[in-house]
Structure 1
Amino acid sequence: MDTPTANPAHTTIQGAAQLSEEKLELLTYWRTFVKHKLTIFSLALAVGILAAVVVYMMRPIYRATAMIQLEDNNAKVLSIEQVYSSLAHGSEHVQTQADILRSRTIAELVLTKLDLVHNPEFSPGRDLTWLAKAKIALGIAHPPTVSDQPGTVLGELRAHLTIAPVPRSNLIQVSYDSPDPRMAALIANTFAEQYIRNDMENKFRMTQEANSWLNEHLAGLKAKLEASEQRLQTYRNQQNIIDVNGSALSGTGNQLEGLVTNLVTARMKMAEAASAYQQIRNAQASGTSLDSLPLVVRDPVVAQLEQVVAQKQQKVSELSKRYGPKFITMIQAQAELQQARDNLKHQVAIVVSSIEHAYNEARANVQALSGAVAEVRGSIRQANEKQFALADLQRDVQTNQQVYDMFLQRFKETSAATDLTKPIASVVDPATAPVVPLRPHKARVIAAALLVGLLFGIAVAFLLERLDTTVRSTEEVGLRLGQPILTTLPLLKDHDHIGRRYLADPHSQFAEAVRTARTGVLLSAIDQPHKIVVVTSSLPGEGKTTFAANLALAHAQTKRVLLIDADMRKPRLGRELGLDDDLVGLSSLASGEREAKDCMRSVPESTLQVITAGAVPPNPLELLLSQRFQETIAALSREFDLVILDSPPVHLVSDAIILSTLATGVVFVMKANSTPYQVAQRCLRALQGAKATLFGVVLNQLDFKKAESHYGDYSGYGSYGKDAAGYYMKESS
């Protein structure tokens, strides 16, 4: 399926239309400006003149500026932070000094230095309001005196002072505003001088205070140091402390270490002896032979004696085989065996006794060593306690000595300080009397006032344009009334014989416009050979009678035309055409008093027939509603090709609505730049409610020059007109 593509020509047309609308909108703004240019420039000029008057009446204010530079000050009394509480020269320091310059203290110093209370510029009553002055004149209030001034002068002095730190530098601008340029320079320089002087005085005072304070505290610190030293020495004497470096304590520690080592060895020996002793006790308790115990057997004497016993026993055993028990040899061998056994038993007893003795000795040794260790430990504990107390006293002495030395050093520095006289800042650029005032900037203020006045005038112009509800161009006829434009009549300067202007100047722009309207009427209801046309308007004075007369004269050149003055309330058609007033007219014809031929009058130099209103009847509306009037109009329309009725305005009476029901069509005349379009809309709706056929709207008395300049409305007749008949004309290029 093919996708439809956009028509390039159609796209181009849409783009051109959009661009045209934007250009038209800009052109509308421009035309509004041109239309109200007199108002705009008048307002701008008025505002500019008013601003100039105000500016030149104002007293000029001059600003003098002194530049000061903050210096690096490294003075030390105690310390920079302790004595002066100052910060490094950074942005915070510069801002702090700027705030000091703005302080009330500096302002009071300047006020006193220059005696500004008695200065005429700060005189009492200089800025009194008219009400205060009136009260003083009437005796209700007392004039201010010098005694009332200090607070007021101080506030005014600080109000005109400007302190501005220069970014990323140690510079500060001190500015003062005053009507007197010399006074402005004097006050700015005095502020800088008093700021530097006040800082130096503060430093000197703080140095003296610090020196006095240090001097007061040195005596107390010295006494405190001596007391702490005395306490330290007394403690040493009481505790018999000689080795202050801890050598005695280290010897006691070595002794304790040896005792602990010996105690461990003794406990090991005691454990071995206790084990042997326990074996003997166990053997004795169980009745086991002691000579069979390993610890006894290991004794070399016991081992040797056991061998002797074995040998003697073997000998007895051998002899018993040969001898009897009573044999001397046998008895002797038995005695030797018994002797050997007794020796063994005695030696076993000795070994057991030695084991018991070794156990008791080892236990006694352990007890002795344990007591010695405990005694040494107690000595070390006492030594440690003494050492701690000694260290505490030493620290107290050391601290007091340091504090005393520091205070003594600071006291010497404070007494011998020479850099405290160094100023915190210096004036690098003194203020001079300015030549050009700070304010008001006359040219700038006047230029701004002119610009504001111009903008205000433009706003007023657009507001007036919005509030203007009249119809000002042919384009607005269609936009606001929704009706076609039949023709546009130019604004005429000369109103003499205006009802016959078509005949008097047939080649004028006015005549061309009337002929355009004639063509429009002829083309409307073209199938009807006999037409009845009603010419009306919203309000009086819109030119409907003049247009009706000239339209009738234009039609009379080619057709049989009857012009009827149907405005029987305020008739003026006869005067417009230069006809004499006659009481015979439409009122007589409608009432049946006269025939039509008796009421008709001819216009010189034309075939036009006219029926004037005649005598003003008491009831015009009833005559128009009568059957006879309707029959009369119908009869006249059959006799003439065109019958034109000049009717009263629609907005005031309903005569025109009645007449529109008898007419072929209605021509609605509207005065340009005069009639509100809302009124015209209501009248047109009333005619449409009566089923009237509207041929179109005639825009009357339009200034073509202004219309073309303001709204882009071009008459179209400039190339044909001539500037000889008393009307405005625009020649086409």
Structure 2
Amino acid sequence: MRTPSDGHYRDAVAEEPRGDGAQLASTLQFLRRRVGIILGGFLLVTGLSALLAYSFTPQYTAQAQLMIDARQVHVTDVQSVLSGLSAENAVLRSELDVLNSVPLMRRVAERLDLYNDPYFNPPEEPSRWAEWRDEGRKFLASVLPTNLVPAWALELEGPPASNLDEEAEQRWVIDRLLAKLKTDNDGRSYTIKLSFTSPDPEKSAEVVNAIVEQYLEDQLEAKLDATRSANEWLVQRLNELGAEVREAELAVREYRETHGLIESRGETVGEQQLAEINAQLVMAQVERSQAEARLRAARSGNPEGLRDVEGATILWHLRSEEAALRRREAEQASRYGPLHPEMQKMQAERADVQAKLREETGRVVQSLGIAVQEAIAKEEALATALAGLRQDSSGTQRAEVELNELIRQAESISAIYANFLRRYRETSEQEGLQRPDARVVSSAETPSVPSFPRPALMMGAGGMLGLLLGLMIAAVLELIDRGYRLSNQLERDTGLPVLGVEPLLRSRLEPSTYALAKPYSAFSEGVQGLRMSLQLTPEEGPHRVIMVTSSVPSEGKTSLCLTLGRMAARSGARTLLVEADLRRPRMAYRLKLRPRAFLADVLDGTHRLDEAVVEDKFSGMHILASRHGVSSPLERVASRRMAAFIESVRHRYDLVLLDTPPIMAVADAGPLAKISDAVVFVVRWGHTPRDTVKAALRKLAVVDIAVTGIVLSQVDLRKQATYGYGDYGYHYDRYKGYYAE
């Protein structure tokens, strides 16, 4: 068996572009060949998006903005009962929870009377069964006489009562309210955004503003309630503390009276007496010392110490008079002698003055002595009294310790009472200055444009999704596409040359008939190219016996045999088509032949070849068909008679075509390949799995059968052009003018 030369094979291999340009070209080719799926996905999803967009009920979203105000207004320098909110993230999240709380929504629902709103609490529709039942009752009442109508048929039920109780209905409304409410904080500001969505734009704005107002009112009420509660508690506590203060002060007073600790000018009577006696004792001691000093001065004759003593003036005059007499006597002594009468007279006067001075001095000393005794007696009396008072004060001091404890308790309670009273006055004044911790940045306005659906946005998103879906489907189809699309794929995987490409025929005519009717069509030219590849072999000469086979059925090998044979016969070559498939022969049925004998009959020797062949009326090709029910088909095609038959027709015909069974199905093709000049393996474009093709070729290689080449059948030239460079279909648009379809 002959094979094509290496040079012929190299010429059949197409060079593949490489590099970044090849990758881009491959991507563009992928998009080109799958553009229908991608565009279909785009149009389908876009259309569905548009249908959905215009089928939905328009929804309107109203939005308001609140800001947690971290600033505090201080009109008076007092501390609030309930402090303001700090603008921390946790606080903001807590306020979001408050805005989404059930109690707040319940108050909003009551404020707007949402329980009677058809959107929030739609009336329950009667069930289909109830409608059928009422219709049946009406029908019975209309067809039967009144006296025969059952009582239950006359009792038509009114609209069905709701199965939900009042609490469940309220909960339903609140849940619906919460489902349509959206609150958000971006985490970078103190602003809270509230939005509500409903089919009614005015209702949306009304609900959002009601929620904002109720939220602010709740904040203010919370502060006012806290202040009122604090005031009530303060009043109660003030009453209790007032009673305690009175009791403590009364206890102090009673203790003072019981223990004689009555105060006067901040001191007790005992303390005042002790201080007074102590002062009197000191004064008595001073007086005693002064009296003793005067007494000593009087005894010593020193009149300077007797200035404030009664009689001191008389003594002073007497001493002055005595001093004057002494001066006169001293003056007269130089003039008169001691016996002079004048001198004696002055001496007698001086003696008289001295006598008076001694008398007066004695009287003064006596009076000063009495004064000293009185001063001593007074001092001793005061000292005795002071000692007694001091002895009494020791018991008084122990009582004062307990008294001081009672006083401290009374003062402590009084201080607490004063603080509570001050705080009560502050909170009372603060009640009118309370304000919410949040303020409205922007109120909700009635929206004029629906927030949902947005047809343009939905169609755009649908288009993107459709493109993505189309690309995914296209990619999946590419991944699961296990067929061969390009000749170089076949040559690279199998190591065999592709002898020709049989274009896909889009006609109802039988392919071989079409080839005869349109000899200049792309299909006919493709088969002609295959014929030339098989016949024009420069080294070995033309192949006379050509076996055509495939890996699995429906690859187009029979059509290829018919077309190749008819075109060869039309060109003048003596051609014989042998249907070597003894298991599923279809040639006679397909061409509506009525042969007198079949291949098995010729092999058995019951009929001659001339009796069995049928001449094709369109081309003159001879056809040797097979029939059903042939026993031992493998033994017949592998027999010597078959080899002898092939050898005989080799010299009788210019071209003998053997249409054989698929290789993967049965082993009949192996013996026939041994006696053939060339083995043509048909692979259906994009259909035959690659692994199946490789398995079939391995099966032939096991029995040492070399395949001459491969034919890529039923090739869609336009689609093939999207798979790569160099193949027959890639340049089809350029040279299609050469064909006459």
Range class of TM-score, shorter chain: 0.5 to 0.7
Shift of 1:516: 3.9
Q: Residue type matched to 2:451 in 1? A: L
Structure-2 separation of matches of 1:585 and 1:694:
28
Q: Residue type matched to 2:463 in 1? A: L
Q: Are 2:224 and 2:431, in contact at CA under 8 Å, matched by a contact in 1?
A: no
Shift of 1:122: 2.0
Structure-2 separation of matches of 1:642 and 1:236:
151
Structure-2 separation of matches of 1:121 and 1:690:
82
Correspondence for 1:178: 198
Correspondence for 2:213: 193
Give the alignment partner of residue 162 of structure 2, picking from 143, 153, 156: 143
Q: Residue type matched to 1:220 in 2? A: E
Correspondence for 2:36: 38
Shift of 1:659: 1.4
Give the alignment partner of residue 233 of structure 2, picking from 202, 206, 213: 213
Secondary structure of the 1:121 match is: coil
Secondary structure of the 1:63 match is: strand
Q: Number of aligned pairs?
A: 579
Cα 1:88–1:690 change in 2 (3 A) is: closer
Give the alignment partner of residue 409 of structure 2, picking from 392, 396, 399: 396
Q: Are 1:218 and 1:408, in contact at CA under 8 Å, matched by a contact in 2?
A: yes
Q: Are 1:565 and 1:571, in contact at CA under 8 Å, matched by a contact in 2?
A: no
Higher mean alpha-carbon deviation, 506-515 vs 234-243, is at: 234-243
Correspondence for 1:660: 673
Q: Are 2:585 and 2:627, in contact at CA under 8 Å, matched by a contact in 1?
A: no
Correspondence for 2:105: 107
Secondary structure of the 1:583 match is: coil
Q: Residue type matched to 1:107 in 2? A: M
Q: Are 1:543 and 1:669, in contact at CA under 8 Å, matched by a contact in 2?
A: yes
Correspondence for 1:55: 53
Residues 63-101 of structure 1: CA distance to partner in whole angstroms, max 9, x if unpaired? 2233445566668999645x3254456666655555444
Shift of 1:436: 1.9
Correspondence for 1:612: 624
Structure-2 separation of matches of 1:415 and 1:616:
116
Structure-1 separation of matches of 2:451 and 2:535:
77
Q: Are 2:595 and 2:612, in contact at CA under 8 Å, matched by a contact in 1?
A: no
Correspondence for 1:478: 491
Q: Are 1:481 and 1:677, in contact at CA under 8 Å, matched by a contact in 2?
A: no
Structure-2 separation of matches of 1:38 and 1:381:
120
Q: What are the equivalent positions in structure 2 for 1:558-637 lying under 5 Å apart? A: 562-567=575-580, 569=582, 581-583=594-596, 586-595=599-608, 610=622, 612-613=624-625, 618-619=630-631, 621-637=634-650
Correspondence for 1:647: 660
Q: Residue type matched to 2:472 in 1? A: A
Shift of 1:558: 10
Q: Residue type matched to 1:108 in 2? A: R
TM-score by length of structure 2 reads 0.65
Give the alignment partner of residue 450 of structure 2, picking from 416, 437, 448: 437
Cα 1:603–1:100 change in 2 (3 A) is: closer
Structure-1 separation of matches of 2:618 and 2:16:
53
Shift of 1:469: 3.1
Correspondence for 1:279: none
- Percent identity between matched residues is 27
Structure 1 vs Structure 2 CA RMSD = 4.8
Cα 1:157–1:566 change in 2 (3 A) is: closer
Q: Are 2:595 and 2:613, in contact at CA under 8 Å, matched by a contact in 1?
A: no
Shift of 1:694: 0.9
Cα 1:162–1:385 change in 2 (3 A) is: farther
Structure-1 separation of matches of 2:67 and 2:60:
23
Residues 495-518 of structure 1: CA distance to partner in whole angstroms, max 9, x if unpaired? 657437777666554455345434
Secondary structure of the 1:660 match is: helix
Structure-1 separation of matches of 2:188 and 2:483:
65
Q: Residue type matched to 2:698 in 1? A: R
Q: Are 1:73 and 1:422, in contact at CA under 8 Å, matched by a contact in 2?
A: no
Correspondence for 2:706: 693
Secondary structure of the 1:157 match is: helix
Residues 183-205 of structure 1: CA distance to partner in whole angstroms, max 9, x if unpaired? 11112222222333344444444
Cα 1:133–1:122 change in 2 (3 A) is: farther
Secondary structure of the 1:698 match is: strand
Structure-2 separation of matches of 1:709 and 1:18:
14
Higher mean alpha-carbon deviation, 27-36 vs 136-145, is at: 136-145
Give the alignment partner of residue 424 of structure 2, picking from 383, 386, 411: 411
Structure-2 separation of matches of 1:118 and 1:449:
38
Q: Are 2:181 and 2:195, in contact at CA under 8 Å, matched by a contact in 1?
A: yes
Shift of 1:698: 0.8
Structure-2 separation of matches of 1:234 and 1:632:
153
Cα 1:503–1:432 change in 2 (3 A) is: closer
Shift of 1:394: 4.1
Secondary structure of the 1:590 match is: helix
Secondary structure of the 1:50 match is: helix
Correspondence for 1:335: none
Q: Residue type matched to 2:240 in 1? A: G
Correspondence for 1:268: none
Secondary structure of the 2:119 match is: helix
Residues 355-405 of structure 1: CA distance to partner in whole angstroms, max 9, x if unpaired? xxxxxxxxxxxxxxxxxxxxxxx9999999777656544432332222122
Secondary structure of the 1:65 match is: strand
Q: Are 1:509 and 1:720, in contact at CA under 8 Å, matched by a contact in 2?
A: no
In the alignment, structure 1 residue 156 sits paired with structure 2 residue 168? no
Structure-2 separation of matches of 1:35 and 1:73:
70
Q: Are 1:484 and 1:697, in contact at CA under 8 Å, matched by a contact in 2?
A: yes
In the alignment, structure 1 residue 463 sits paired with structure 2 residue 482? no
Correspondence for 2:530: 517
Q: Residue type matched to 2:418 in 1? A: D
Higher mean alpha-carbon deviation, 409-418 vs 696-705, is at: 409-418
Secondary structure of the 1:542 match is: coil
Correspondence for 1:358: none
Cα 1:96–1:399 change in 2 (3 A) is: farther
Q: Which has the higher contact order (CA 8 A, sep 6+)?
A: 2
Structure-1 separation of matches of 2:463 and 2:45:
6
Secondary structure of the 1:684 match is: helix
Q: Are 1:203 and 1:420, in contact at CA under 8 Å, matched by a contact in 2?
A: no
Q: Residue type matched to 1:221 in 2? A: L
Structure-2 separation of matches of 1:530 and 1:177:
82
Q: What are the equivalent positions in structure 2 for 1:269-418 lying under 5 Å apart? A: 389=402, 392-417=405-430
Cα 1:599–1:100 change in 2 (3 A) is: closer
Cα 1:106–1:614 change in 2 (3 A) is: closer
Q: Are 1:68 and 1:425, in contact at CA under 8 Å, matched by a contact in 2?
A: yes
Specify every segment of 5 or more residues in structure 1 that has no aligned partner in the other structure, as ranges: 1-16, 253-377, 727-733
Q: Residue type matched to 1:676 in 2? A: P
Structure-1 separation of matches of 2:539 and 2:186:
90
Residues 11-48 of structure 1: CA distance to partner in whole angstroms, max 9, x if unpaired? xxxxxx99926654554444333223222322332222
Cα 1:44–1:135 change in 2 (3 A) is: farther
Cα 1:525–1:625 change in 2 (3 A) is: farther
Structure-2 separation of matches of 1:415 and 1:165:
36
Cα 1:553–1:205 change in 2 (3 A) is: closer
Residues 424-461 of structure 1: CA distance to partner in whole angstroms, max 9, x if unpaired? 55545332211122333332222222222221222222
Shift of 1:62: 1.9
Structure-2 separation of matches of 1:444 and 1:428:
29
Q: Are 1:77 and 1:410, in contact at CA under 8 Å, matched by a contact in 2?
A: no
Residues 261-318 of structure 1: CA distance to partner in whole angstroms, max 9, x if unpaired? xxxxxxxxxxxxxxxxxxxxxxxxxxxxxxxxxxxxxxxxxxxxxxxxxxxxxxxxxx
Structure-2 separation of matches of 1:382 and 1:449:
104
